[in-house]
A and B are shown apart, each in its own frame.
Chain A
Amino acid sequence: MSSGFPLPPGERPLTERIDALLTDAEHRDNPLRAPLAELYNAFSDHLHQLERITRISDHYQAAERDRGANHAVNYRRQLRRLEKIVRISDQYQGMLRELNQRLEWLSHRDALTGLPNRRHALMRLREEHVRAQRGGRSFVIMIIDIDHFKDINDTWGHEFGDQALTAVAARLAASVREYDVCARWGGEEFLVMLPDTDPCAAGDNARRLRACVGSDPFTIDGRELRITVSLGVGSYHPGEDLTEFMKRVDDALYLAKHEGRDRIAFAA
């Protein structure tokens, strides 16, 4: 056993010297021998005890340190995991958002012609109406109806009719400005709205649109076909509500039809 106490130079360890004294026959009858032996045993026991306690305590400290290190490892792992969940979840949200935008776009499109649909046109009409009522410039609406469309359908079938409708839609859409609205209003009717446009510009625009359809024949399914349109055209009157305005334009279209088609009628 080593006591671990520092030694003066040249000296043997205390424990060795005491061992030597206790085993030396010369000191067998020394009255100090018995108490020294007793003291020495007690000291040895205490030393042993102390070393045990130190060892156990060191173990505890090491275990605590490992536990702390494990916590750190766990924490980093959980953090990484959480970051991954957030990243993936964000991507799912992005996916839904895109889907939503796509659905919204689709809900404003006419599936056949690819033009904005009636829902979209109504939304834009209401916006423009509000703007005009707030003192903005006037705006122009045209309702354009394909002449004798029923005959086209009846003669060559609905599929042919659909192609004709799509071809007319394409010409109209190509003839308006980027910020105008050219929508499929229903059946063979289209609505064109020219925002922020003075009444005096309505005539030129209407003539241009009528000409873009009627002046050149279409080639549909290998067949050459002349298609004409009738237009009801109106400018917004300040203070008028949207339904009244639409009614005036509708009446103008009716007039154009009634007077023989392939023509423009201006709303009163």
Chain B
Amino acid sequence: MNDFEIPATESTPLIRTDRAAGRLEMSGDSYPENSFELFQPVLDWIAGFLGQLLQPLTLELKLLYLNTSSVRAMMDIFDALQDAHDRGQPVEVNWRYDRDNERVADLAAEFKEDYSFPFEIIPGS
């Protein structure tokens, strides 16, 4: 469960973990050729964090475009957070979006549906 940072590319988002702060950050576009390769370390890190630590976990997201397999991976991530939340562990998601692109907010709201942990959709500049 070591921290890692994957720099953004044209087709993949920046992904950065901070175990001490209880933070996972993802920002950018995500349409990787191999979504398993990209997201498995993220899922593993989250599973490790939620399995070992009882401190709160916050996901800071600023995602713009996601392809279908990335949508699926994000749902896997949110499912893991929901399980932790159901066990009483504090988890939250902050999804920031550009005011110029309200559609991203609609999409974040679609994701949010069905989950009961704190999930904020925050307009920014």
Interface residues of chain A, those whose CB is within 8 Å of chain B, are: 81, 84-85, 87-89, 91-92, 94-96, 98
Contacts and interface: CB of A to CB of B under 8 A. Distances in A.
A89 B65 CA distance: 10
Contacts of A81: 75
Interface string B66-104: 111001100100000000000000000000000001011
A155 B60 CA distance: 54
Question: A-B pairs with the 10 shortest C-beta distances?
Answer: A89-B68, A95-B103, A88-B71, A88-B110, A85-B71, A89-B71, A85-B72, A91-B107, A92-B66, A88-B107
A205 B107 CA distance: 50
B111 A95 contact: no
Nearest to A95: B103
Contact of A85 (B75, B103, B107): B75
B114 interface: yes
Given A84-B110, A84-B113, A84-B114, A92 B72 contact: no
Contact of B103 (A84, A89, A91): A91
B75 A84 contact: yes
A222 to B, nearest CB: 33
B48 to A, nearest CB: 24
Determine the main DSSP class of A at the interface with B: helix
B106 interface: yes
A91 B106 contact: yes
A169 B19 CA distance: 59
Tell me which of A89, A94, A98 has the highest count of chain B C-beta atoms within 10 A of its own C-beta. Answer: A89
Given A84-B110, A92-B66, A95-B104, 17 more contacts: A81-B75, A84-B114, A85-B68, A85-B75, A87-B110, A88-B71, A88-B110, A88-B111, A89-B67, A89-B71, A91-B103, A91-B106, A92-B65, A92-B71, A95-B65, A95-B101, A96-B65
Determine the main DSSP class of B at the interface with A: helix
A88 B65 CA distance: 11
Contacts of A95: 65, 101, 103-104, 107
Interface in B1-30: none
Contacts of B113: 84
Interface string B44-74: 0000000000000000000001111001100
A189 B95 CA distance: 48
A91 B108 CA distance: 11
Contacts of B101: 95
28 contacts: A84-B75, A84-B110, A84-B113, A84-B114, A85-B68, A85-B71, A85-B75, A87-B110, A88-B71, A88-B107, A88-B110, A89-B67, A91-B103, A91-B106, A91-B107, A91-B110, A92-B65, A92-B66, A92-B67, A92-B71, A94-B103, A95-B65, A95-B101, A95-B103, A95-B104, A95-B107, A96-B65, A98-B103
Contacts of B114: 84
Contacts of B75: 81, 84-85
Nearest to B107: A91
B66 to A, nearest CB: 6
A92 B104 CA distance: 9
A40 to B, nearest CB: 56
A89 B66 CA distance: 8
A88 B66 CA distance: 9
A87 B111 CA distance: 10
Contacts of A96: 65
